[in-house]
Structure 1
Amino acid sequence: MPESGARAGTGLAEATEREFPVPTPLDGHGPARIIAMANQKGGVGKTTTTINLGAALAEYGRRVLLVDFDPQGAASAGLGINAHELDRTIYNLLMEPRSDVREIIERTTVENLDVVPANIDLSAAEVQLVNEVAREQALARVLRPVQDDYDVILIDCQPSLGLLTVNALAAAHGVLIPLEAEFFALRGVALLVETIEKVQERINPRLRIDGILATMVDLRTLHSREVIERVQQAFGEKVFDTMISRTVKFPDASVASEPITSYAPSHPGAEAYRRLARELVARGDAA
């Protein structure tokens, strides 16, 4: 079975796999680059990527804040936080302009990795924000006070293109799009790119697409290889060199409420996310 991160296989252009250097230690922290993890299709690896990329960057000495921006609260649960028992979450911050995000930030078992938790309450925010002034800027306001405390802020978006996702795009510097290596997943990317372009034009001119990350890849299958080729043809250099292979270790790590980097540190999936972290830094999309 090919290891995560491989780019070999019949039908793919032969290329030597680039190596990305281990990031140099930082002299200080902040201001953070904010990255939204977005795709309106569910089950493509957004939360898995947010958790494991965050943990990998933290391993390299980066201070990382993970913002759970999905009412399902999967990112919170995946880091061992039972958000359903919390009195205050990201929802309260969105609805209370004078609240301080520092009051609800939760530490995780991973050094340098913190999380702003979410639970089902967040589902009400989409409706309640509709009548608010500057409703698209609510999350940007929430994050502003802690931007200098972190090197990277990762926002785990819900699988939709509604007001919450627009808030994430309005707050972000870049968008990372996890894309499952299957044809149906390709169909929605054009709509997502269109939404990103609208946010660029109307709300957040600094926003850009950092890259497309192929997930759930199995290069043994012709289907996976053909999808990867199509993505590379459509997006060129925007496609990350790193790919994430399909493996049962990711759901196992989720059940254990740990990133794969600590649950199975030597597993190819853990190595793939470390490689993605190095590639992100090498591209200049993270400190």
Structure 2
Amino acid sequence: MGKIIAIANQKGGVGKTTTSINLAASIGILEKKTLLIDADPQANASSGLGIDIDNLEIGTYEVLEHESPAKKAILPTNSPNLDIIAAHVDLVAAEIELVDSEQREYMLKTALQEIKEEYDYIFIDCAPSLGLITLNALTAADSVIIPIQCEYFALEGLGKLLNTIKSIQQLHNPNLDIEGLLLTMFDARLRLSNQVVEEVRSHFPQMVFDTIIQRNVRVSEAPSYGESIIKYDAASRGAENYLALAQEFLKKNNQ
């Protein structure tokens, strides 16, 4: 049975999509069958893995609305052992259209039942909001990874997200775990970056991944070529960071 992991933080620009693409690709490289679901209407995870989103026929929108089975929405990527259910800007409409649906928080969970056993891990790249699509992702997920950038205001909004997770555990998904907090965009030269690492680790000692994702130009360049950092530049520091994270994640999951 596959494990579903949402990658979520309502703050934008914290490295959610970068982490979704590169962690999923790294897990695939380590020979686990992996699926990435793009649940962000900006569709950056889809274009970042080389999907032509303008000509997408079936994607996350159709799956969420139960207009198409999830199996039909799966596309291969250019990364080993990694498939994707891609998004399109149409996904914005789902936020409004699902409001009146019965079981509206469970639409994604229901849709993924038929494919969950076909993958070792399913990652969901969430939008930078706590709207209905993100609630669907957290209701469908077994656990959540929360990226936190090593910059000023890093912890701002984290309390709100943790409260949202708590209410989802109470109302919709009692089995939802926090997989871990992931420190991103770390710059060792900046005192602030080091202070944020200390602060997050002192507040949440049991929850923070040991691996820290450092700022890396090659990581920023890779999506414009439609490739993960592993494919774009396997020798880069960014690739090393994400492979280390994948190994830590698998060890945590006894793999």
TM-score bracket for the superposition, by shorter chain length:
over 0.9
- Listed as ranges, the gaps of 5+ residues in structure 1 are 1-30
- Between the aligned partners of 1:143 and 1:48, the Cα distance in structure 2 is 23
Answering whether residue 37 of structure 2 is matched by residue 67 of structure 1, we say yes
TM-score of the pair, normalised by structure 1:
0.87
- Between the aligned partners of 1:267 and 1:194, the Cα distance in structure 2 is 37
Answering whether residue 65 of structure 2 is matched by residue 95 of structure 1, we say yes
**TM superposition shift of 1:87:** 2.1
Counterpart selection for 2:27 from 57, 61, 80 = 57
Counterpart selection for 1:81 from 51, 54, 64 = 51
> What whole-Å deviation, never above 9, does each CA across 1:34-87 have from its counterpart, x for those lacking one?
000000011110000011001110011100000000001000000000122112
- Between the aligned partners of 1:112 and 1:79, the Cα distance in structure 2 is 13
Answering whether residue 134 of structure 2 is matched by residue 158 of structure 1, we say no
> Which residue is 1:114 aligned to?
83
> Which residue is 2:147 aligned to?
178
Which 4+ runs in 1 deviate beyond 3 A?
none
Aligned residues: 255
Pairwise mapping of residues 205-284 of structure 1 onto structure 2 (< 5 A)?
205-284=174-253
Tell me if the contact between 2:216 and 2:237 (Cα under 8 Å) persists in the aligned partners: no
SS at match of 1:79: coil
**TM superposition shift of 1:141:** 1.1
SS at match of 1:236: coil
SS at match of 1:66: strand
SS at match of 2:122: strand
* AA matched with 1:57: I
SS at match of 1:184: coil
SS at match of 1:160: coil
- Between the aligned partners of 2:186 and 2:235, the Cα distance in structure 1 is 19
Tell me if the contact between 2:154 and 2:196 (Cα under 8 Å) persists in the aligned partners: no
| Identity, % of aligned positions | 45
Tell me if the contact between 1:41 and 1:185 (Cα under 8 Å) persists in the aligned partners: no
**TM superposition shift of 1:240:** 0.4
- Between the aligned partners of 2:113 and 2:31, the Cα distance in structure 1 is 22
